[in-house]
Amino acid sequence: MRFSAWLIWAISWLVCSVLADAYTAPHTSDELGRALASLGVEIRGQLPVPQASCPAACALLSTVRKNIVSTSGSQTYAQQQGRYWSLQQLETLPACRVTPQIAIDVAITLLVTQFFQCPFAVKSGGHAAFAGASNIQGGITIDLSSLTQVEVSKDRTVTKVGAGNRWLDVYSKLDPLGLSVVGGRVADIGVGGLTLGGGVSFFSGRYGWALDGVKNYQLVLANGQIRDINQNSDPDLYFALRGGGNNFGIVTRFDMETFPQGLMWGGSTIHPPNTNVSICKAFENFANNASQNPDAALITAYAYSQGSYIFSNNYGYALPTPFPPAFNEFTSIPNITDTQRITTLSNLAVELNASNPGGFREHYTTATFKNSAALQLRILDIFIQEVETIKDAADILPALVMQPITIPTIRLFRKNGGNALGIAEADGPLILMNLAILWSSTADDDRIIAAAARVISRSQQVAREMGLGYRYIYQNYASLSQDVFRGYGEENRQRLLAISRKYDPDQVFRSLQPGYFKLDGVNGGSLS
């Protein structure tokens, strides 16, 4: 090796080792004692020897932090277990649940879980569908539901949003102030999961996805450090948090770009099945013409309910303009019901919540395609063929939900140094497809999940044949077996892996937090 090359190698090795050391978590009793002391918990001398035990971790946590730990049999534990959307998550039983009141509680919990090698999961709104995504059998579930701050800056440009909020909590504080942030469209969804994976919003045409609007993250790293992460402080980690899911740390607060927002236009129409051709065409045109309508957002769904197929369109328009021209083509399609009106964002979020009931078995899966009405019609046929094979399942409600990812939105993915999703303007407009199925009996799990997988693989096959396939897999709609991060493109995935090794050298968020989507594609959880 030439001397200069050797020198560069030696310097980079040194920098990497120093950085890795800076982020290494405590391993021994002494190190844990010192780390806890730096967080204000002085229990040096009383710490047990390191051992792999979740009950021991729960016991230590309830000693050092009163009232944040609950175990099976307590009212708090039962209440919190009841606040998952899917039955699969609700039936997952952790050794204890920890409910941090402040970021320091999260840091302490993270250190203790490592000391006792106790696997953990993190929950914000609990709307990820599969078991183990935000709850963990026999481990520790860190339930962020008490982190409910919603605080607008004096200049009204940033809102500090605690990671345990649900979107309705945020909107009901901001609506009366004439302000908003880019967030979810359904009242009960958590701020945490939605924002770390993406965040399709009514306002995405103007401001991008929710992750594009986060100015600063308060993040707890694996070594217990509580840090503000933004474009100036740590541009690499800031990039990774915009799409990296639960792989980089636990976010305790999102500081979100805030904008003026008054009343808006929105609601849903329901259409008979013979409108399929017109709806697919109107969708294609809407997506293609999006640059003329940055205030308009659309969700189209094809569903099977109680013996018949129905189609629906949900509209959001950021201004209080009745029947905005953006939706003209849909207005001329015959409908059975129509709830469009001038209203608040909170009100629209509550309306959509009603059509997404919790307490059932749930399956989400996804694919992305180039925009085409012809393809959408072919996919609809596949959906109907597969639903016919499972429609006898009790309480079944399968819905094929299509949303455009428009060019104006993709352009906004470049904001603040760019997000991690790997979608380029030249790739758009795209169709984001989400197949969502609800049912009630465990006995039907396997055949329903298999039918859903066939819808995805057959649709992708048809898309490839038509030259309309696309690699992106939306984390927030993905099924356990889908390789989300490969869908970001290999360059972005490698970049995320390197950032994860820098800030989490022991790979705590990989090995001790097995659930949900992992950068190496070995995801954790269970569909049934």
Residues that bind ligand FAD (CB under 6 A): 85, 121-128, 133-134, 144, 163, 184-186, 189-190, 192-194, 196-200, 246, 250-251, 356, 476, 515-516
Could you give the 3-state DSSP secondary structure of residue 300? strand
In whole angstroms, what is the distance from residue 223 CA to residue 177 CA?
Answer: 38
Report the distance separating Cα 157 and Cα 206, nearest Å: 16
Q: Which residues of 26-56 are buried (b: 16+ CB within 10 A; e: fewer)?
A: beebebbbebbeebebeeeeebeebeeebeb
Q: In angstroms, give the least distance from the CB of 515 to ligand FAD.
A: 6
Minimum distance, C-beta of residue 191 to ligand FAD, in the bound complex (Å): 7
Closest to ligand FAD by CB, 436 vs 462, is: 436
Q: CB of residue 496 vs ligand FAD: minimum separation in angstroms?
A: 15
DSSP per position, 107-163: HHHHHHHHHTT--EEEESS----SBTSS--TTSEEEEGGG---EEE-TTSSEEEEET
Tell me if the bond preceding 324 is cis, omega within 30° of 0.
no
**Is the CB of 70 or the CB of 201 nearer to ligand FAD?**
201
CA–CA separation, 346 vs 176, rounded Å? 10
**How far does the chain reach from its first CA to its final CA, in angstroms?**
54
Q: Smallest distance, Å, CB 127 to ligand FAD?
A: 3
Write down the least CB distance from residue 189 to ligand FAD, Å. Answer: 5
CB of residue 246 vs ligand FAD: minimum separation in angstroms?
4
Beta carbon nearer to ligand FAD, 400 or 462: 400
Cβ 466 to ligand FAD, closest distance in Å? 26
Q: Minimum distance between the CB of residue 121 and ligand FAD, rounded to whole angstroms?
A: 6
Distances (CA, A) of 288 to 244, 248, 298: 29, 36, 13
Contacts of 338 (CB under 8 A, 6+ apart): 267, 268, 269, 270
CB of residue 435 vs ligand FAD: minimum separation in angstroms?
13
**What is the DSSP pairing of strand 296-305 with strand 397-405?**
antiparallel
Q: Compare residues 209 and 373 and give the one whose CB is closer to ligand FAD.
A: 209
Q: Min. distance of Cβ 398 from ligand FAD in angstroms?
A: 14
Q: What's the CA gap between 62 and 112, in Å, rounded?
A: 11
Distance of CA 358 to the CA centre of its chain: 17
Query: How many whole angstroms separate alpha carbon 500 and alpha carbon 432?
Result: 27
Structure tokens belonging to residue 482: 């889908």
Nearer to ligand FAD, 192 or 294 (CB): 192
Distance CA 289, CA 353 (A): 29
Three-state secondary structure of 8-31 = HHHHHHHHHHHHHHHHCCCCCHHH
Output 125 or 429, the one with its CB closest to ligand FAD: 125
* Smaller CB separation from ligand FAD, 206 or 378: 206
Rounded least distance, CB 208 to ligand FAD, Å: 12
Residue tagged 């390191």 (tokens)? 50
- Six token digits for residue 14: 């040194």
Give me the torsion for CA of 440, 441, 442, 448, rounded to 10°: -80
Q: What's the closest the beta carbon of residue 134 comes to ligand FAD, in angstroms? A: 3
SS (H, E, C) 343-392: ECHHHHHHHHHHCCCCCEEEEEEEEEEECCHHHHHHHHHHHHHHHHCCCC
Closest approach of Cβ 523 to ligand FAD, in Å? 10
State the Cα–Cα distance between residues 75 and 72, nearest whole angstrom: 8
Q: What share of the chain is helix, strand, coil (3-state, %, to 5)?
A: 40, 20, 35
Fill in the DSSP letter of residue 395: T
Q: Which is nearer to ligand FAD, 31 or 295 (CB)?
A: 295
Nearer to ligand FAD, 33 or 162 (CB): 162
Q: For residues 128 and 433, which CB has a smaller minimum distance to ligand FAD in the complex?
A: 128
Nearer residue to ligand FAD within complex by CB, 282 or 436: 436
Q: Which helix (H) or strand (E) holds 216?
A: strand 214-220
Question: For 248, what's the count of Cα atoms within 13 Å in the CB-facing half-sphere?
Answer: 29
CA-closest candidate to residue 299, choices 226, 198, 402: 402
CB of 53 to ligand FAD, least distance (A): 22
Q: Report the residue number, 196 or 468, with the smaller CB distance to ligand FAD.
A: 196
Nearer to ligand FAD, 207 or 516 (CB): 516
Name the residue nearer to ligand FAD (CB basis): 70 or 476.
476
